[in-house]
Amino acid sequence: MGPEQPSSAPSAQPVPADPVDRVIAYHVRTKHHFDRYAKSLGFLDWANQPNPFRRFEGACLVPLPLLGADEEPRSPSYDAIYQADAVASQPLTIRTLSRFFELALGLSAWKRAGESEWALRNNPSSGNLHPTEGYVLLPPLDESGLPPGLYHYAPREHGLELRSECPAESITRLLAGFPPGAFLFGLTSVHWREAWKYGERAFRYCNHDVGHALGSARIAAATLGWKMLLLDGADQNQVARVLGTHRAEDYGEAEPEHPDCLAVIWPDASGARPAADLPLCLDQALVSDLIAGSWHGKANRLSREHGVHWDAIDDAAEASWKTTVEPLAVQRSQGSVLSTTHHDSRTAVDAGRIIRQRRSAVAFDAKTGMPSETFFHILQRLMPQAGAPQVDRPMPWDLLPWEPAIHLMLFVHRVEGLRPGLYVLARDYNRLPLLKSSMSPDLEWSPTPGCPADLPLYWLLQGDAQRLAAQVSCHQGIAGDSAFSLGMLAEFEGRLRDRGAWWYPRLFWEAGLVGQVLYLEAEAAGLRGTGIGCFFDDPVHEIVGIKDLALQSLYHFTIGGPVDDGRLLTLPPYYHLRRE
Ligand SMILES: Cc1cc2nc3c(=O)[nH]c(=O)nc-3n(C[C@H](O)[C@H](O)[C@H](O)COP(=O)(O)O)c2cc1C
């Protein structure tokens, strides 16, 4: 993560009463400005660096089998996971569950420099702080040795900690509305892990990381032929109750977990569409039944002391707490399945390899470019086919039950056949009028030469944007030395006022998911990507003349030819388990 320095933040403003005004106030006060960064400690309190690994002491840990890349279940090709029904569906077993967690949230390597050693994971995280914790609610599984119940995933041990054993009938009844073989997946965030380093802006980063983790889970599920859908109709109390984060007695002095979301995952046997509409929340009475059983384990404390407490984060979390339940259902498809429009034979290489090799570039060579076909192809992967029935949208966009809210503003530096300059990609063609009306009337808006017809990509300004991109990205060279970089423009105030303050985190989740696809696409193209959470908000907006809150840039990303840091030693992800 880039440089973030102490700030002389404005004196405390009165907190507005309306939740939407509160999240907007949080957003505005956590902007970075050229002359002032969002409020943070300004130095790293190393003595209290949070432990990146949460454990529940006293909960039984069930180790998942450590599977070599060549062992079953093996990954399909990277291309296959994006093609509807190209991957044969695997049954839910302890081995497929192990592969799912490995590729979704497992370790990807250890890095060593001198005396220090730290783990990297298949899901990236701002500052490698990993605030996101993963959970699974499992139905009875044959011969797995895993009793039905709620488990917390322990990535260092690659095991599942049994938090609550649930009667098989209760889980079966709870999951009865979903396709056969379904189970639940959930995410929580320890805000403290990011706040320790980034102060008030940390709530944003935690939500980016949720988006990345949702993406890595959706893509891991796709390697097994599984479908996944966010249960976004559930209210947040329900999410808390299912994941056990409401149990203050199990957290004690330990850092709390914020319940983010629940998703349902199911083996999509023989490509069959779900037999009925899929509910987007759980039955309240059945949830109460489920959690009435016995709970195990006490959360470990991650830092000895906590120094400054950032009230602004608590306030944003409280204001965006989802209190409504929408008994929405995702309609099953009536017609035939849409296939993805882009068939690419670039990557016969297996998906698992791309996922495991994903890393953030720490520097780019300021030389390597890419052909325009590769650039267009990467952007096509980001198109969610807005308006299509949910279950028929291309993976991973079938996960999010809403119309896309994130569009891209691209700084093109080194794409063969394209003039360097500034471009815009509307991820939903119908949102072009909003994009145009929110930006300066002086922009060009010419169709991009050679661009495929299904890509609403427009050229706005010509010129070398390398210095500009780096300057607005907290002076980080990675934004200018790449082939291209981008800012993710969210439909901001309109969505929040229409839908409610609980949409604030969702905008970051969608941005994180876009980032996750970009990370893997960069690897598949033989390049490398890096997420950029540190940027100067309003100077970015000024580039295209955004004057109000209709659009806000929430996250940046960059892709190019990496320069590795040769001083670091890389060790295999689970070498410590084989040694212990
Ligand atoms: C939301 C987010 C924001 C990030 N912001 C930056 C950034 O501003 N600058 C940077 O160099 N890296 C940034 N990163 C990259 C992380 O530092 C990187 O993911 C982390 O160190 C783990 O390394 P890995 O991605 O190689 O596994 C960001 C990553 C994420 C997910």
The CA 557 to ligand 1 mean position distance, Å, reads 10
- Contact (Cβ atoms closer than 8 angstroms) between residue 399 and residue 212: no
Looking at every residue in the chain, the average pLDDT score rounds to 93
Q: What letter represents residue 17's amino acid?
A: A
Which protein residue has the closest C-alpha to ligand 1 atom 30?
Answer: 126
The CA 405 to ligand 1 mean position distance, Å, reads 23
| Crossing angle between the packed helical segments 503-524 and 19-29, to the nearest 10 degrees | 50
Q: For 183-216, b where at least 16 C-beta lie within 10 A, e where not — what string?
A: bbbbbbbbbbbbbbbbbbbbbbbbbbbbbbbbbb
The CA 63 to ligand 1 mean position distance, Å, reads 29
The CA 154 to ligand 1 mean position distance, Å, reads 21
551 confidence band (pLDDT: 50, 70, 90): very high
- Contact (Cβ atoms closer than 8 angstroms) between residue 131 and residue 258: no
- Contact (Cβ atoms closer than 8 angstroms) between residue 81 and residue 222: yes
Q: What integer pLDDT is reported at residue 411 of this predicted model?
A: 98
Sequence-separated (6 or more) residues with CB below 8 Å from residue 153: 101, 105, 133, 134, 135, 136, 159, 160, 161
11 confidence band (pLDDT: 50, 70, 90): very low
Q: What integer pLDDT is reported at residue 340 of this predicted model?
A: 43
Which protein residue has the closest C-alpha to ligand 1 atom 21?
Answer: 128
CA 171-172-178 angle, 5° bins: 105
pLDDT over 50 at 246, yes or no: yes
329 confidence band (pLDDT: 50, 70, 90): confident
Q: What integer pLDDT is reported at residue 332 of this predicted model?
A: 65
Residues with CB under 6 A from ligand 1: 1-2, 120, 124-128, 205, 208-209, 212, 359-360, 476, 478, 530-534
523 confidence band (pLDDT: 50, 70, 90): very high
Which protein residue has the closest C-alpha to ligand 1 atom 9?
Answer: 1
The pTM is what?
0.96
The CA 231 to ligand 1 mean position distance, Å, reads 27
